[in-house]
Structure 1
């Protein structure tokens, strides 16, 4: 009986979201490579990130569920900053640890981060994923491929 409750707690403490790979306009690569972001990503997330992000499109149900659940997960906050040379300001980014895998190969998964970017041009249903490897090569992805995003919000 105790094992059943433990398993139930694990199920309730996690969420699985399905997303579809889509091409971006390469802005993620530009921003991740900026020293003020890149160094914070490396220090705060614990991995040397690939200088680019993977865009995933979620359906309305999944994006609403994700946004609701993210309220209960403490983010890693990448602080906004000002470029001393150009006086340009860059906004903060909230990062949420997750695991990513292909829908058709759930066994091969990798640690990544969902980026909740405070200033973005994306549609409501598009999220950006940051990871150590280039995810399109790592998972052999093309536009339209389905990925699973796993989040855990237990202590």
Structure 2
């Protein structure tokens, strides 16, 4: 499946969560790479929101949750994906603060820096089903 969307700024939470060692180790085990501590957020067209929600409800892969310092961190759903030829995954947290239709893409590299991406630029997301 391929979806087009616009790059947009996120909430900054991905940086925190992707820097936690249990999540980093989980990504390495499941995807085979350590993720950059941050996500690339892509808002898809309204007509594609139902497809995003279907992926969110049935992710192909999972990074297990864990407990640390008296706090519970929930399982993450993942779907392998590619943007601009860069392999990565769409991340679907148990609790999501983004509106429907916003994808969070994680890769080994900082996608904004590697490709000079700015808010409002269109990208195509290739999604493994």
TM-score by length of structure 1 reads 0.77
RMSD: 1.7
Q: 1:94 & 1:17 partners in 2: Cα distance?
A: 19
Larger radius of gyration: 1
Q: How does 1:20-99 map to 2 (within 5 A)?
A: 20-68=6-54, 70=55, 75-83=60-68, 86-99=69-82
Q: CA deviation at 1:71?
A: 7.6
Q: Which residue matches 2:128?
A: 152
Q: CA deviation at 1:66?
A: 3.1
SS of 2:86's equivalent? strand
Q: Which residue matches 2:87?
A: 111
Q: 1:134 & 1:71 partners in 2: Cα distance?
A: 23
Q: 1:122 & 1:66 partners in 2: Cα distance?
A: 12
Q: Deviations over 1:14-52 (max 9, x none)?
A: x11011111112110000001111111111111121111
Q: Which runs of 5+ in 2 are unaligned?
A: none
Q: 2:60 & 2:67 partners in 1: Cα distance?
A: 22
Q: Which residue matches 1:7?
A: none
SS of 1:51's equivalent? coil
Q: 1:81 to 1:71 in 2, by over 3 A?
A: closer
Q: CA deviation at 1:67?
A: 2.9
Q: 1:37 to 1:21 in 2, by over 3 A?
A: same
Q: Which runs of 5+ in 1 are unaligned?
A: 1-14, 102-108
